[in-house]
Amino acid sequence: MNKSKVEKINFYSDVLGKEMSMLVYLPECYNNSTPLPVLYFLHGRSGDENIMFEMGINTKADQMIKDGDINPMIIVCPRIENSRGLNSSLICKEVSDLGDNNRIINIGMYEDYFMKEIIFLTDKTFNTINDRKGRYIGGASAGGYAALHHAFRHQHMFLKVGGHMPALELELENEDKPYFKDMGVWEKYDPLYVARNNTILFDMDVYLDAGNNDEGRFYEGCSILHEILKEKGINSQNHVFQGNHSAEYIQSNIEKYLKFYGC
Protein backbone atom coordinates (compact mmCIF):
# COMPACT_ATOMS: atom_id res chain seq x y z
CA MET A 1 0.00 0.00 0.00
CA ASN A 2 1.31 3.44 -0.91
CA LYS A 3 2.04 5.93 1.83
CA SER A 4 2.29 9.68 1.58
CA LYS A 5 5.82 11.00 1.46
CA VAL A 6 7.82 14.18 1.73
CA GLU A 7 10.62 14.67 -0.77
CA LYS A 8 13.45 17.17 -0.46
CA ILE A 9 14.45 18.67 -3.81
CA ASN A 10 17.86 20.35 -3.96
CA PHE A 11 18.65 22.39 -7.05
CA TYR A 12 20.81 25.21 -8.32
CA SER A 13 18.91 28.45 -8.88
CA ASP A 14 20.18 30.20 -11.99
CA VAL A 15 18.16 33.27 -11.00
CA LEU A 16 19.75 33.60 -7.55
CA GLY A 17 23.09 32.03 -8.45
CA LYS A 18 23.17 29.55 -5.57
CA GLU A 19 21.93 26.23 -4.26
CA MET A 20 18.34 26.23 -3.00
CA SER A 21 15.82 23.59 -1.93
CA MET A 22 12.16 22.84 -1.39
CA LEU A 23 10.14 20.18 0.43
CA VAL A 24 7.29 18.51 -1.41
CA TYR A 25 4.41 16.56 0.15
CA LEU A 26 2.92 13.85 -2.05
CA PRO A 27 -0.35 12.36 -0.76
CA GLU A 28 -0.94 8.61 -0.52
CA CYS A 29 -2.92 8.59 -3.76
CA TYR A 30 -0.21 10.33 -5.78
CA ASN A 31 0.63 8.55 -9.02
CA ASN A 32 1.68 9.31 -12.55
CA SER A 33 -1.77 9.02 -14.12
CA THR A 34 -3.88 11.48 -12.12
CA PRO A 35 -2.63 15.09 -11.98
CA LEU A 36 -3.16 16.85 -8.66
CA PRO A 37 -3.48 20.50 -7.62
CA VAL A 38 -0.53 22.16 -5.91
CA LEU A 39 -0.46 24.36 -2.82
CA TYR A 40 2.66 26.50 -2.54
CA PHE A 41 3.13 27.52 1.09
CA LEU A 42 5.72 30.21 1.86
CA HIS A 43 7.53 30.49 5.18
CA GLY A 44 8.07 33.63 7.22
CA ARG A 45 11.13 35.75 7.88
CA SER A 46 12.89 33.43 10.33
CA GLY A 47 11.65 30.14 8.83
CA ASP A 48 12.73 27.88 6.03
CA GLU A 49 11.31 25.14 3.83
CA ASN A 50 11.15 22.73 6.79
CA ILE A 51 9.00 24.72 9.21
CA MET A 52 5.52 23.73 8.00
CA PHE A 53 6.46 20.07 8.10
CA GLU A 54 7.85 20.51 11.61
CA MET A 55 4.36 21.80 12.44
CA GLY A 56 2.84 18.65 10.93
CA ILE A 57 1.14 20.01 7.81
CA ASN A 58 1.75 16.66 6.10
CA THR A 59 0.18 14.55 8.86
CA LYS A 60 -2.79 16.94 9.03
CA ALA A 61 -3.20 16.65 5.27
CA ASP A 62 -2.98 12.85 5.47
CA GLN A 63 -5.79 12.67 8.00
CA MET A 64 -8.03 15.22 6.30
CA ILE A 65 -7.65 13.51 2.92
CA LYS A 66 -8.36 10.14 4.52
CA ASP A 67 -11.47 11.52 6.24
CA GLY A 68 -12.70 13.16 3.02
CA ASP A 69 -12.44 16.66 4.50
CA ILE A 70 -10.19 17.88 1.69
CA ASN A 71 -9.27 16.74 -1.79
CA PRO A 72 -5.80 15.29 -2.38
CA MET A 73 -3.16 17.84 -3.27
CA ILE A 74 0.58 18.30 -3.49
CA ILE A 75 2.11 20.76 -1.01
CA VAL A 76 5.33 22.57 -1.94
CA CYS A 77 7.31 24.56 0.63
CA PRO A 78 10.21 26.34 -1.09
CA ARG A 79 13.06 28.14 0.60
CA ILE A 80 12.59 31.89 0.09
CA GLU A 81 14.94 33.06 2.87
CA ASN A 82 14.31 36.50 4.39
CA SER A 83 13.38 37.95 1.01
CA ARG A 84 9.66 38.76 1.13
CA GLY A 85 9.53 37.19 -2.32
CA LEU A 86 10.65 40.45 -3.95
CA ASN A 87 12.76 41.31 -6.95
CA SER A 88 14.87 43.63 -4.81
CA SER A 89 18.34 43.43 -6.39
CA LEU A 90 19.90 42.11 -9.58
CA ILE A 91 22.66 40.62 -7.42
CA CYS A 92 21.63 38.15 -4.72
CA LYS A 93 23.28 38.99 -1.40
CA GLU A 94 22.76 39.39 2.34
CA VAL A 95 22.48 42.81 3.95
CA SER A 96 21.55 44.05 7.42
CA ASP A 97 18.24 45.77 8.05
CA LEU A 98 18.19 49.32 9.37
CA GLY A 99 16.26 48.53 12.55
CA ASP A 100 17.25 47.75 16.11
CA ASN A 101 17.36 44.00 15.54
CA ASN A 102 20.14 44.05 12.92
CA ARG A 103 18.58 41.09 11.12
CA ILE A 104 19.95 39.66 7.92
CA ILE A 105 17.86 40.48 4.85
CA ASN A 106 18.19 38.54 1.61
CA ILE A 107 17.91 40.68 -1.50
CA GLY A 108 17.86 39.35 -5.04
CA MET A 109 15.45 38.38 -7.80
CA TYR A 110 13.26 36.27 -5.52
CA GLU A 111 9.99 36.90 -7.36
CA ASP A 112 11.56 35.59 -10.58
CA TYR A 113 13.07 32.68 -8.64
CA PHE A 114 9.64 31.62 -7.41
CA MET A 115 7.59 32.33 -10.51
CA LYS A 116 10.08 31.06 -13.09
CA GLU A 117 11.98 28.32 -11.27
CA ILE A 118 9.96 26.91 -8.35
CA ILE A 119 6.70 26.58 -10.27
CA PHE A 120 8.43 25.32 -13.40
CA LEU A 121 10.46 22.74 -11.46
CA THR A 122 7.36 21.52 -9.62
CA ASP A 123 5.32 21.09 -12.80
CA LYS A 124 8.25 19.44 -14.56
CA THR A 125 9.00 16.99 -11.73
CA PHE A 126 5.54 16.03 -10.47
CA ASN A 127 2.17 15.15 -11.96
CA THR A 128 0.44 18.48 -11.41
CA ILE A 129 -2.59 20.29 -12.76
CA ASN A 130 -0.51 22.76 -14.72
CA ASP A 131 -2.83 25.78 -14.79
CA ARG A 132 -4.35 28.29 -12.38
CA LYS A 133 -7.35 26.05 -11.63
CA GLY A 134 -5.03 23.68 -9.84
CA ARG A 135 -2.56 26.13 -8.36
CA TYR A 136 -2.91 27.73 -4.92
CA ILE A 137 -0.52 29.88 -2.88
CA GLY A 138 -0.41 30.78 0.78
CA GLY A 139 2.06 31.78 3.43
CA ALA A 140 2.69 32.86 6.98
CA SER A 141 3.87 36.30 8.11
CA ALA A 142 6.37 37.61 5.53
CA GLY A 143 5.46 34.53 3.47
CA GLY A 144 1.83 35.60 3.61
CA TYR A 145 2.78 39.02 2.29
CA ALA A 146 4.72 37.29 -0.52
CA ALA A 147 1.84 34.94 -1.32
CA LEU A 148 -0.58 37.85 -1.63
CA HIS A 149 1.59 39.97 -3.89
CA HIS A 150 2.52 36.95 -6.04
CA ALA A 151 -1.18 36.15 -6.52
CA PHE A 152 -2.31 39.72 -7.16
CA ARG A 153 0.58 40.47 -9.53
CA HIS A 154 0.25 37.16 -11.39
CA GLN A 155 -3.50 36.59 -11.37
CA HIS A 156 -3.38 34.22 -14.33
CA MET A 157 -1.33 31.77 -12.23
CA PHE A 158 -3.38 31.17 -9.06
CA LEU A 159 -6.97 30.32 -8.17
CA LYS A 160 -6.68 30.66 -4.39
CA VAL A 161 -4.45 32.70 -2.10
CA GLY A 162 -4.11 32.80 1.66
CA GLY A 163 -2.37 35.36 3.84
CA HIS A 164 -1.97 33.91 7.34
CA MET A 165 -0.95 36.61 9.83
CA PRO A 166 0.47 38.29 6.69
CA ALA A 167 3.01 41.09 7.21
CA LEU A 168 0.73 43.79 5.79
CA GLU A 169 2.39 46.97 7.03
CA LEU A 170 0.47 50.20 6.54
CA GLU A 171 3.60 52.28 6.00
CA LEU A 172 7.20 51.66 5.04
CA GLU A 173 9.20 50.89 8.17
CA ASN A 174 12.86 51.86 8.45
CA GLU A 175 14.00 48.26 8.88
CA ASP A 176 12.24 47.29 5.63
CA LYS A 177 14.00 49.90 3.49
CA PRO A 178 16.82 47.60 2.26
CA TYR A 179 14.14 45.70 0.30
CA PHE A 180 12.82 48.82 -1.42
CA LYS A 181 15.02 51.33 -3.28
CA ASP A 182 12.11 53.81 -3.42
CA MET A 183 8.39 54.15 -2.72
CA GLY A 184 7.62 52.96 -6.23
CA VAL A 185 9.01 49.53 -5.41
CA TRP A 186 7.15 49.50 -2.07
CA GLU A 187 3.86 50.22 -3.83
CA LYS A 188 4.59 47.75 -6.62
CA TYR A 189 4.59 44.90 -4.10
CA ASP A 190 2.29 46.15 -1.34
CA PRO A 191 -0.81 43.90 -1.57
CA LEU A 192 -3.01 46.73 -0.32
CA TYR A 193 -1.78 49.12 -3.02
CA VAL A 194 -1.95 46.47 -5.75
CA ALA A 195 -5.49 45.45 -4.80
CA ARG A 196 -6.68 49.05 -4.58
CA ASN A 197 -5.10 50.36 -7.79
CA ASN A 198 -4.97 47.42 -10.18
CA THR A 199 -7.97 45.97 -11.93
CA ILE A 200 -8.56 42.47 -10.60
CA LEU A 201 -9.25 40.53 -13.78
CA PHE A 202 -9.74 37.00 -12.50
CA ASP A 203 -12.04 35.36 -10.03
CA MET A 204 -9.93 34.43 -7.04
CA ASP A 205 -10.66 33.07 -3.57
CA VAL A 206 -8.81 34.94 -0.82
CA TYR A 207 -8.38 33.90 2.83
CA LEU A 208 -6.99 36.34 5.40
CA ASP A 209 -6.42 35.80 9.10
CA ALA A 210 -4.39 37.05 12.03
CA GLY A 211 -4.35 36.63 15.79
CA ASN A 212 -6.26 39.01 18.05
CA ASN A 213 -3.01 39.67 19.93
CA ASP A 214 -0.76 39.89 16.87
CA GLU A 215 2.22 42.04 17.87
CA GLY A 216 2.41 43.57 14.39
CA ARG A 217 -1.33 44.34 14.45
CA PHE A 218 -1.53 42.68 11.05
CA TYR A 219 -5.25 42.12 11.58
CA GLU A 220 -5.58 45.83 10.70
CA GLY A 221 -4.05 45.36 7.26
CA CYS A 222 -6.12 42.22 6.75
CA SER A 223 -9.32 44.12 7.51
CA ILE A 224 -8.44 46.92 5.07
CA LEU A 225 -7.46 44.48 2.32
CA HIS A 226 -10.63 42.46 2.88
CA GLU A 227 -12.80 45.56 2.37
CA ILE A 228 -10.90 46.53 -0.80
CA LEU A 229 -11.35 43.03 -2.23
CA LYS A 230 -15.06 42.92 -1.38
CA GLU A 231 -15.57 46.24 -3.17
CA LYS A 232 -13.84 44.72 -6.21
CA GLY A 233 -16.22 41.74 -6.11
CA ILE A 234 -13.52 39.28 -5.05
CA ASN A 235 -14.51 36.33 -2.89
CA SER A 236 -12.58 37.23 0.27
CA GLN A 237 -12.89 36.02 3.84
CA ASN A 238 -11.18 37.57 6.85
CA HIS A 239 -10.76 35.99 10.29
CA VAL A 240 -9.39 37.10 13.64
CA PHE A 241 -8.50 34.04 15.70
CA GLN A 242 -7.13 33.71 19.22
CA GLY A 243 -3.38 34.11 19.42
CA ASN A 244 -0.36 36.26 18.72
CA HIS A 245 2.25 36.42 15.96
CA SER A 246 3.86 33.03 16.40
CA ALA A 247 4.48 29.59 14.99
CA GLU A 248 2.00 28.28 17.53
CA TYR A 249 -0.72 30.44 16.00
CA ILE A 250 -0.07 29.02 12.54
CA GLN A 251 0.10 25.46 13.84
CA SER A 252 -3.21 25.80 15.68
CA ASN A 253 -4.96 26.85 12.46
CA ILE A 254 -3.41 24.52 9.87
CA GLU A 255 -6.62 22.49 9.53
CA LYS A 256 -8.62 25.65 8.71
CA TYR A 257 -6.06 26.60 6.07
CA LEU A 258 -6.03 23.16 4.46
CA LYS A 259 -9.84 23.20 4.37
CA PHE A 260 -9.73 26.47 2.41
CA TYR A 261 -7.21 25.23 -0.14
CA GLY A 262 -8.46 21.66 -0.35
CA CYS A 263 -12.21 22.11 -0.88
Question: Is the pLDDT confidence value at 1 over 90?
Answer: no
**Helices 57-66, 254-262: crossing angle, 10 deg rounding:** 50
Inform me whether the pLDDT recorded for 58 exceeds 90: yes
Which pTM does this prediction carry? 0.95
Residue 36 has pLDDT above 80, yes or no: yes
- For the domain spanning 5-262, the CATH number is 3.40.50.1820
pLDDT tens profile 215-254: 999 999 999 999 999 999 999 999 999 999 999 999 999 9
pLDDT at 176 (0 to 100): 78
Predicted confidence (pLDDT) at residue 201 exceeds the cutoff of 70: no
Residue 10 pLDDT > 80: yes
